[in-house]
Amino acid sequence: MTAVTAGASESTTTASVRGATGTGTTFTRWLGAATLVALGALAVLGLVVSPADVVQGESVRILYIHVGTVWVAYVAFIVTALSSAAYLWKRTTSLTWDRIAGASAEIGVVFMAVTLFAGALWGRLSWGAFWVWDARVTTTAFLFITYIGYLAVRDLGGSHRQRARRSAVVALLAVLEIPLVHFSVKLWRSVHQDASVGDRTSDVTLDGLMLFTLMLALGAFTLLYAWWLLHRQRVLAMRDALDDKGLDRALAERRTEGVQS
Amino acid sequence: MSTWRTALLIAMKDLRVEARSRIVLVQVLPFAGLVMVLFAFALDSDTVLERVSPGLIWMATVFSLLIVVQRSFGVETADGALDALRVAGVRASGIFVGKAIALAAQLLALEVLLTVLAVVLYRAELDADGLVLFVTTVLVATCGLAFVGTLYGGLAAGAKGRETLLPLLLFPVVAPVLIGATRATEAALGASGAATSEGWPWVALLVVFAALFGAGGTLAFGSLIEE
């Protein structure tokens, strides 16, 4: 890189840094506001307004968190898989897909940690134990660990392209692995109750307000996911840009050293 | 050169390296034996050991798999051998299959030793029916483990912190093998009162696992080791 282009890239750096002192835009600010309102409403509805369950009592309120977060975690991991496939497919390959995959997996891991924690608390109240070796619970734990591994692979180092290709393959291998783990653990044992809502053969009916609260939980956590994803993806883009700049600068410095000696 | 021929050459090379260095023979096999003895210390009861011996055989195998995989790719990255292979235009799928074959051969030797130890130390018993099931289980499970080990070993090869990363990646993936192989071995040994016929569905699971990761690895290995 010559001195002129180095100077030019210098000015664009300051411009883009000035333009992005944060990662917020008008859209994400509105999205953030909507998320906070939805979460506030969920807290009021879930904790105060909605009734306690006939069988489970007050502990049913944990489920709004448990179901809402696990829903988002699954959405997040699906987004990771799809973005990884989009990166590997030659016609759509772009580091943006890679960063969306990474950001989504990070958020998914956070939500799944909440799911497991809330589930353990609920299990203690309903099943009498924090943990049971049931198929779905065990698979969820494996899913959680698998994506922690995925995030570790993203931190292995190397160029951005290298990171992107490697982590995309690992994300797609996880898609291969998870159904297998689930199937084998299910063969091993199962006591988890099947999903109650949406199962037409079951006679479990949900109180209207409880159903509404549950749907609100799904919506609120999905908004939170979208809000975080946009921000996190931009943070990752800035981090990559910073890495590139650091490399360019180091190269330029070595070159000037070469000229001087 | 065809993929198979490449694979065979790579496998022969890996086994020749092992024959000359004898790392698996003098370090990994004793380690696996030691794990079996430590299990006996930890569980300290003949009846418990008899009941859980199938699981212990496969736990010891999975632990040893980790070491053998590290070793297998340590050889490749030490002098940039893997890069040299790639630069020489050797097909990645050939490297994958070849290293998996060599890994499977070493694991088989290991499993024979572990089985003998289980019979001696834990009083496991095999009859003729069980033997057929057991041998099939061992062969199929070993293929699956070798494929998965090679796949993730190649991924972690050359990266910093690979010693700690590999178990994190590998253990969740091998869970189906651990479950399937343990149940099938239980049926073969008649441990926990399982009938021999109960073991075959588990073998089917192991076949699916080996096929999926064999195919996945053959396709994806190039992307993983490319620099």
Q: Compute the distance between CA of residue A88 and CA of residue A92 in angstroms, rounded to an integer.
A: 8
**CB–CB contact A157 B175 (8 Å):** no
ipTM of the complex: 0.85
Closest CA relative to residue B154, chosen from B211, B45, B227: B227
Measured between beta carbons, which residues in chain B are less than 8 angstroms from residue A156? 156, 159-161, 165
CA nearest to B169 within chain A? A149
Choose the mutation target among A109, A148, A156, A163 for the interface with B, i.e. most B CBs under 10 Å.
A156
Separation in Å, CA of B41 to nearest CA in chain A: 26
pLDDT tops 80 at residue B72: yes
> What is the Cα B136 distance to its own chain's centre?
14
CA distance A84 to A80: 6
Contacts of B169 in chain A (CB under 8 A): 149, 152-153, 170
Determine, for residues B179 and A153 on separate chains, whether the beta-carbon distance falls below 8 Å.
Answer: no
Closest CA to A192 of A253, A127, A243: A127
Query: Tens digits of per-residue pLDDT, B95-130?
Result: 999 999 999 999 999 999 999 998 888 888 888 888
In the predicted structure, residue A134 carries a pLDDT above the cut 90: no
Query: Does A180 contact B160 at a Cβ distance shorter than 8 Å?
Result: no
Nearest Cα neighbor of B58 from B217, B188, B151, B165 is B188
B165 in reach of chain A (CB within 8 A): yes
Question: In chain A, pLDDT over 70 holds for what percent of residues?
Answer: 84
Min distance A81 CA to chain B CA atoms (Å): 15
- Which chain B residue lies closest to A189 (C-alpha atoms)? B179
Give the residue among B41, B17, B13, B53 at the shortest CA–CA distance from B191.
Answer: B53
Given pLDDT bands bounded at 50, 70 and 90, which one contains residue A207? confident
pLDDT band at B29 (very low <50, low <70, confident <90, very high): very high
A96, B168, B225, A101 alpha-carbon torsion, rounded to 10°: -10
Q: Is the pLDDT of residue B61 over 80?
A: yes
Q: How many helices, marked H, and strands, marked E, lie in chain B?
A: 9, 0
DSSP codes of every residue in A123-178: HHHHTSSS----HHHHHHHHHHHHHHHHHHHHTS-S-HHHHHHHHHHHHHHHHHHH
Residue A8 reports pLDDT greater than 50: no
CA distance A182 to chain B (A): 9
Task: Give the residue from B86, B168, B177 with the most A CB atoms within 10 Å of its CB, the best one to mutate.
Answer: B168
Query: What's the half-sphere exposure (Cβ side, CA atoms, 13 Å) at A234?
Result: 15
3-state secondary structure of B44: coil
Reply yes or no on whether the pLDDT at A201 is more than 60.
no
Tell me whether residues B227 and A183 touch, CB distance under 8 A.
no
| Helix pair angle (B3-21, B92-122), 10° resolution | 50
Q: Which residue of A has its CA nearest to B208?
A: A180
Collect all residues of chain A within an 8 Å Cβ-Cβ radius of residue B208. 180
Within an 8 Å CB–CB cutoff, is residue B89 touching chain A? no
At A87 the pLDDT is: 94
Nearest beta carbon to residue A152 from set B168, B175, B176: B168
Closest by CA to B57, choosing from B15, B120, B127, B128, is B120
Give pLDDT, residue B215. 93
A101 falls in which pLDDT band (50, 70, 90)? very high
Of chain B residues 130-159, which have a CB less than 8 A from chain A?
A: 151, 155-156, 159
Q: What is the pLDDT of residue A4?
A: 38
* Residues B209/B215/B220/B222 CA torsion (nearest 10 deg): 130
Is the backbone of residue B193 left (phi > 0), alpha (psi -120 to 50) or beta?
Answer: left
Contact B207/A at CB under 8 A: no
From CA B59, how far away is CA B49, in angstroms rounded? 13
Q: Does B168 touch chain A (CB under 8 A)?
A: yes
- Lowest model confidence (mean pLDDT) among A233-237, B8-12, B222-226: B222-226
Domains: count for chain B: 1
Distances (CA, A) of A93 to A55, A87, A164: 51, 4, 10
- Taking one residue from A and the other from B, the number of pairs with CB-CB distance under 8 angstroms is 75
Residues from chain B that touch A183, judged by Cβ atoms under 8 A, are 176, 205
**Which residues in B lie closer than 8 A to residue A165 (C-beta atoms)?**
223-224, 226
Domain that holds residue B125: 3-225
Q: Where are the domains of chain A?
A: 31-194+210-245
What chain A residue is nearest to B182 in terms of C-alpha separation?
A188
Q: Is B209's Cβ below 8 Å from some Cβ in A?
A: yes
The angle formed by the CA atoms of residues B159, B82 and A156, to the nearest 5 degrees, is 15
**Sign of the torsion formed by the C-alpha atoms of A89, A90, A95 and A97:** negative
Indicate yes or no: CB of B151 within 8 angstroms of CB of A173.
yes
Residue B135 is inside which H or E element, if any? helix B128-156
